[in-house]
Structure 1
Amino acid sequence: MNVFPRLPDNLTGGLRRPNQVRRDQLEGAVREALSRQVAVTRPLTADPAGQAIRRANRIRRRRAGVGIALGVVTTVLIGAGMTHLSGGSDQQGPPIVVIGDPDLSAQPLATASVAPPPPPPPPSSKASADALFASALIDADGKRLALPGVGPAELAHRLPNGTGLLVVGAPTAAGRSLWVAQDDGLVQVLLAGAGQIVLAPDATQVAWRDGEDLLVAGVVGTQLIGTVRIAVPDSAQPVRFVGSSLLVRPDPTRPGHVLWRPGADKLTEVPEQDTLNVYGSLPDGRLVSQVSANSADGTCLALVDPLRATKAARTACGTRLSPDGVGGMSDDGRWLLVNGKVGSTDRSLLVDLERLGTTLDAVPVGPAVSGAVAWTSDSDVAYVDSSGWLVRLNVKRVRAGEPAEQTPVAGIEPGDRPVLVSGS
């Protein structure tokens, strides 16, 4: 007996499958099998084309990275070079000149280039605006100061932070200009084509005449800010700052002054209408003024309160003061250096304002003042005389009978009139 029955196949019983295949059928089956194998995509163990493409992409990325790096380095180098040319104290390129509209609150300053100046002198330990100025400008020690490309100056004052100078240009057919020269070598024009220009004692404000208006602005760095204006008579001229107000002379040919507080829409008349010149203000606000007198002396020295409708608190006469109004007060308000007459000779006079009485007690100390008076301390003062010499004196020594020190200014050509830089 067969335990494991045999399954039927084509050689045994059951369904029979024909095994007679023709040659053309076999060839067709082989062709179909081969064609199916070719249609199937199989990964290659080595792909030369793909490797070449990937290698080219890597090279392209590397070249792009190198190009970007070179561009960054070039940009940094160019930026550093421009910074060196524009901001360095030893710059060789042309300075940048900013010419502002007189009403700087209305529009920003525009920038323009000027012709390259001559190479500056080698930098010193005190690289400041002092190294820029020469010939026409000097400091209280007689040192020449030079500013290539800037015309003759009428007045120069140090900036309050000690980082440069404000320079008022001499009058020209086109008007006056106001320059600022920083210690880092930057030179800019703040005003151009203006009328009379007046600087505050601390150089933080400037007033000027423009057409029919009088304008005042603050000085911050190399900009004028907060510009305000008021219409004034054609002959009115700014004289000096008195605290936060501006002293104005309506008619330079006649005595009398008015005060304008910037922002106000009117001028306030100063009570003492015989005032000819004002030399400064005391800490209490009173003005040290030259007033006309009815006596043969012609003028007197008076202390005037500009805000009260009263006569001068004190008036001292007996010494003939020069009508030119040139003079300057010490910062503490104790001393006044002013021009006057000693006999028929013009001299500089020293006045002790604390001892001002009915008689003007003035001590002749040197030749007459020509231009600005620079108090370097409460007891030391310097100025330039009419001959272009620098005059320096100490209050205690000259009051003790010691003459003032007079020295010629080195490098000044005959006929040149040096301008003394004021402010500390």
Structure 2
Amino acid sequence: MDVPSKELEDALRELLSQRADLPRPVTADPAGVAIRRANRIQRRRTLTGMGLAVATVMAVSAVGLQLRDDRPPTGGTVVISDPDQPLLVERPIPPPEPATTTPIAEVDLLIDGLIATAQGRRVPLLGTGEVERAHRLTDGRGWLAVGVPTLAGRSLWAVAGDGAAQALLAGADEIVLDPQGRQVAWKQGTVLAAAKIVNGELDTVVRAEAPAEAVPVRFVGDAVLVRLAPDRPGHVLWPPRPGTLGPGGDRASTHIFGALPDGRLVATVIPGTGTGTGTCLTLLDPARDLAPATPECGPQLPGDGPGAVSPDGRWLLVNGPSAGEESALLVDLAKLDASGVRPAGPAMTGTVVWSTPDTAHYADADGRLVRVAVDQVTEGRRAAPTALPGLPDGASPVVVSGG
């Protein structure tokens, strides 16, 4: 370049004087760093929010397309199924963590948002909301959890061994599971529905129209037992199929506790008018439209509180009066008369679960766990409640069924 050295020197001086006039950045500027960091975080949150919004719209659209051809006649129950996503219920249970403690019971317990397993693990329920009852899957890979009733209805979740949950059902008025955890029935509005649970998803959903006050109460084999109205006696069996729920002929049964191996149902009934007798225990015959079998009226058992039949059909554990107070009663179903009724322990609250044919567990009104052993009760010894260590104030354990 043919430029005189004098001009180059002048240009260099001008450049250096301009740079000297520019303000120098402060070496340590906490406020500036915080502002720049906040701006970066805000930009990332905005981008993340936009991504989540797009994903949500796509997911809702996909569910809408899936349900379009299988929409309930009325009502707003939502069956949640996403076959393209990994199923949490299929994830194996992780090995016990170092925090494993001594088991507090021989059954799983639902306590204040976590499951205390019979192996001593504490599994927090993640993302389920408040759970009312739970059922352990027979393959040992997790649980099914039923939520408490809310303004939006009940929900059903598949819970993996680490507590992570996947929603299977939402918006139901009532949800019941079969004893193996392989079938579910629910009611919403005037829609009664049932489905199989296959690999953590609802499969083969069947729906029928039913009275708005009808409520599913349990499975009897593959059929769903439905109470026609919560405040009136009468039940009907629904073999899941489309159409309309039939009214049946039973208008006497007030509560049904389970089934015998031959299919007959253990129930309390109101005898024929004019007898002046309260509710009493009897057996109902499904083959005769739930008509009472012999004896038509066995031991008197007022009310329709909690109760359950043992797996072998020999015993019934149910609430009833004993020595002037409400107690748990053990009833020998082979006798089905007053001589086969024995006081078994304090009155039950919530669920009662038979872990073996001769052992049952439940919680009493004070939040204590009660273990009823049939041989002890038949020898005249009532079960004693056990206070659970570390139970939060006001919390009550719920015995987990299945396993």
Give TM-score, length-normalised by structure 1.
0.67
Map of 1:32 onto structure 2: none
Give the Cα–Cα distance (whole angstroms) in 2 for the partners of residues 353 and 131 of structure 1.
27
Mapped partners of 2:176, 2:339: distance in 1: 29
- Is 1:350–2:330 an aligned residue pair? yes
Question: Which runs of structure 2 are paired with 1:7-46 in the superposition (5 Å)?
Answer: none
Query: In the alignment, does 2:81 pair up with 1:109?
Result: yes
Q: SS of 2:268's equivalent?
A: strand
- Do the aligned partners of 2:127 and 2:164 also contact (CA within 8 Å) in 1? no
**Closer, same or farther: CA 146–244 of 1 in aligned 2, 3 Å:** same
For residue 168 of structure 2, what is the aligned residue in structure 1? 190
Q: Note the residue ranges of structure 2 that are not aligned, 5 or more in a row.
A: 1-58, 71-78, 87-95
Unaligned runs of 5+ residues in structure 1 are 1-97, 113-119
* CA drift at 1:381: 0.9
User: Structure 1 vs Structure 2: percent identity of aligned residues?
Assistant: 43
**Are the counterparts in 2 of residues 347 and 367 from structure 1 also a CA contact under 8 Å?**
yes
**C-alpha displacement of 1:150:** 2.6
- Specify which of 384, 393, 403 is matched with residue 405 of structure 1: 384
Q: How far is the alpha carbon of 1:339 from its aligned partner?
A: 0.7
Could you tell me how far apart the structure 2 residues matched to 1:399 and 1:405 are? 15
Find the residue that maps to 2:150 and give its secondary structure: coil
- For 2:373, which of 381, 386, 394 is the aligned residue? 394
Q: 1:299 to 1:386 in 2, by over 3 A?
A: same
In structure 2, C-alpha distance between the alignment counterparts of 1:370 and 1:249, rounded to whole Å = 21
2:185 is equivalent to residue 207 of structure 1: yes
Q: Is the 8 A contact 1:304 1:312 kept in 2?
A: yes
Cα distance change, pair 259–329 in 1 and its aligned pair in 2 (3 A): same
- Number of residue pairs matched by the alignment: 316
The 3 A distance-change label for structure 1 pair 413 and 123 is closer
1:151 is paired with a residue whose SS is coil
Superposition pairs for residues 20-419 of structure 1, below 5 Å?
106=70, 109-110=81-82, 122=98, 134-136=111-113, 145-183=123-161, 185-293=163-271, 295-309=275-289, 311-315=291-295, 317=297, 319-357=299-337, 359=338, 361-419=340-398
Distance 1:169 1:420, change over 3 A: same
Normalising by structure 2, we get a TM-score of 0.70
Q: Secondary structure at the match of 2:343?
A: strand
Contact 1:137 1:153 in 2 (8 A): no
- Whole-angstrom CA distance in 2 between matches of 1:323 and 1:195: 23
1:421 to 396, 400, 403: 400
Tell me the alpha carbon deviations over residues 52-108 of structure 1, each in whole angstroms, 9 at most, x when there is no partner.
Answer: xxxxxxxxxxxxxxxxxxxxxxxxxxxxxxxxxxxxxxxxxxxxxx99889699487
SS of 1:154's equivalent in the other structure is strand
Aligned partners of 2:108 and 2:220: how far apart in 1? 32
Letter in 2 for 1:386: A
Q: In 2 relative to 1, CA 254–310 (structure 1 residues): closer, same or farther, beyond 3 Å? A: closer
CA distance 1:268–1:253, shift in 2 (3 Å): same
| Equivalent pair of 1:283/1:333 in contact (CA under 8 Å) | yes
Aligned equivalents of 2:355 and 2:303: distance in 1? 25
Residue 152 of structure 1 and its aligned partner are, at CA, apart by 2.1
Contact persistence 1:278–1:288 (CA under 8 A): yes
Q: 1:312 to 1:133 in 2, by over 3 A?
A: closer
Q: Structure 1's 395 and 372: CA in aligned 2 closer, same or farther, altered over 3 A?
A: same
Secondary structure of the structure 2 residue equivalent to 1:290: strand
Which whole-Å CA distance do the structure 2 matches of 1:409 and 1:104 have between them?
49
TM-superposed deviation, 1:168: 0.5
Give 3-state SS (helix, strand or coil) of 1:255's partner.
strand
Q: CA deviation at 1:414?
A: 2.0
What secondary structure does 1:350 align onto?
A: strand
Distance 1:109 1:161, change over 3 A: same
Query: Is the CA contact (8 Å cut-off) linking 1:168 and 1:197 kept in structure 2?
Result: yes
**How far is 1:132 from its partner?**
11
Q: 2: distance between equivalents of 1:139 and 1:353? A: 33
Q: Is the 8 A contact 1:140 1:382 kept in 2?
A: no
Q: Is the 8 A contact 1:282 1:333 kept in 2?
A: yes
What is the alpha-carbon root mean square deviation over aligned residues? Answer: 3.3
Does the aligned pair in 1 maintain the 2:108–2:115 contact within 8 Å? no
**Residue 185 to residue 340, structure 1, CA distance change in 2 (3 Å):** closer
Query: 1:180 and 1:310, CA in 2 relative to 1: closer, same or farther beyond 3 A?
Result: closer
Structure 2 Cα separation of the partners of residues 395 and 137 of structure 1: 29
| Paired residues of 2:123 and 2:161 also in contact (CA < 8 A) | no
Letter paired with 2:385: Q
